[in-house]
């Protein structure tokens, strides 16, 4: 029997961990994220989260928000780099696999759809978009996960799209990125400025039926994501796009689905919801870490 793998999902809002052995979850834990409050203490925080697991594990697999470089991680929103790989290796003393969290979700969804036969006699290409606190992405191109040396690839939230009205500045330094228009953070921020008081993302969607300005914000978000999907179709030739995340699975999903149907036929794709739920990132990096070790 193989030793267990510790699979950790490091997001901006929450951090979850699973102890997995031969594809079976033995234990799971979840805590609030400290990425935006104590980034320098992240490695120790992860180690404490997995207390009692390390002796039972033979591998550490981490899905993490940010730019995953060979020796560090760049956290765009925090404008900081962290040598997390080295820190984790020192603390856990285990072989380490680490990839971007949205890339991990893309890999997880690809594995599910491939096993269901969706890619039979078709190009094994899939685009994954997650719309939550930010907008992330992952791309499977011809059966391979798209990665790069500096970690800044498939960061689909930082693709710029047409936008009516004043430019919207993104924290990456450019205007009219999808993340600056369609993320939960962006929707809440823009709505709060329009209404003159603090508004949550959930309230934006609740108010869109009665407040035209809120309906316009949500429509602009759906338009931005639809433009991103059309661009992704042109880049990759994908037939399937998966949209997840707490915002992506709200009413926004159906608005985007409707707008895709209005695109010229060459840009139309099938929009799917993810199958792995909140555990998608952890399962994705687990399966990615097992390449060559398990079948499928």
**Structural domain spans, the chain:** 4-101+279-289, 103-275
Q: Judging by DSSP bridges, how do beta strands 73-75 and 80-82 pair with one another?
A: antiparallel
Are 182 and 225 a contacting pair, CB within 8 Å?
Answer: yes
Band of pLDDT at residue 243, cut at 50, 70 and 90:
very high
Query: Strand, coil or helix: what is 43?
Result: helix
Model pTM?
0.90
- At 180-190, the pLDDT tens digits run 999 999 999 99
Structural contact between residues 3 and 56, judged by C-beta atoms closer than 8 angstroms: yes
Label each residue of 209-267 as H, E or C.
CCCHHHHHHHHHHHHHHHHHHHHHHHHHCCCEEEEECCCCCCCHHHHHHHHHHCCCHHH
Query: With left for phi above 0 and alpha for psi between -120 and 50, is residue 143 left, alpha or beta?
Result: left
Tell me if 4-101+279-289 shares its fold with 103-275.
yes
**218 pLDDT tier (thresholds 50, 70, 90):** very high
Pair 132, 183: CB distance under 8 Å: yes
Of 59, 79, 81, the closest CA to residue 70 belongs to 81
For domain 103-275, the CATH architecture is 2-Layer Sandwich (3.30)
- What are the residues facing 237 on neighbouring strands? none
- Rounded Cα distance between 240 and 123, Å, is 10
The answer to whether residue 296 scores a pLDDT higher than 50 is no
pLDDT reading at 96 higher than 70? yes
Exposed/middle/buried for 224, CB within 10 Å: 0-12, 13-18, 19+? buried
For 253-282, how does the pLDDT look when each residue is reduced to its tens digit (9 = 90+)? 999 999 999 999 999 999 999 998 889 999
CB-count burial class (<10 Å; 0-12, 13-18, 19+) for 147: middle
Helix axes 212-236, 184-195, angle to 10 degrees: 150
pLDDT classification of 226: cutoffs 50, 70, 90: very high
The domain defined by 4-101+279-289 folds into Nucleotidyltransferase; domain 5 (3.30.420)
- pLDDT for position 76: 75
Strands 126-131 and 240-244: parallel
Report yes or no: 5 and 20 within 8 Å, Cβ to Cβ.
yes
User: Residue 1's pLDDT is what?
Assistant: 63
Question: Mean pLDDT score of the chain, rounded to an integer?
Answer: 94
């Amino acid at each position: 029997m193989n030793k267990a793998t510790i699979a950790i999902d490091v997001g901006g809002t929450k951090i979850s961990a699973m102890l997995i052995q031969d594809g079976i979850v033995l234990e799971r834990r979840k805590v609030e994220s400290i990425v935006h409050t104590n980034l320098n203490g992240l490695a120790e925080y992860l180690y404490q989260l997995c207390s009692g697991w390390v002796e039972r594990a033979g591998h550490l697999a981490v899905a993490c928000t940010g730019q995953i470089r060979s020796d560090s991680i760049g956290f765009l929103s925090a404008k900081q780099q962290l040598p997390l790989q080295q820190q984790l290796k020192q603390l856990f003393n285990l072989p380490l696999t680490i990839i971007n969290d949205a890339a991990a979700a893309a890999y997880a969804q690809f594995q599910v759809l491939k096993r269901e036969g969706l890619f039979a006699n078709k190009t094994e290409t899939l685009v994954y978009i997650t719309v939550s606190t930010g907008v992330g992405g992952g791309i499977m191109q011809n059966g391979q996960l798209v990665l790069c040396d500096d970690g800044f690839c498939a960061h689909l939230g930082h693709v710029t799209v047409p936008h009516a009205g004043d430019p919207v500045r993104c924290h990456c330094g450019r205007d009219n990125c999808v993340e600056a228009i369609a993320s939960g953070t962006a929707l809440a921020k823009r709505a709060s400025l329009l209404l003159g008081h603090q508004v949550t993302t959930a309230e934006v969607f609740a108010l869109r039926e009665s407040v035209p300005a809120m309906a316009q914000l949500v429509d602009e978000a759906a338009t931005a994501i639809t433009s991103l999907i059309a661009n992704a179709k042109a880049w990759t030739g994908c037939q399937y796009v998966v949209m997840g995340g707490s915002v992506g699975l709200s009413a926004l999903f159906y608005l985007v689905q409707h707008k895709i149907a209005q695109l010229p036929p060459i840009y139309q794709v099938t929009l799917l919801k993810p199958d792995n739920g909140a555990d998608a990132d952890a399962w994705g990096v687990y399966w990615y870490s097992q390449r060559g070790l398990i079948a499928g």
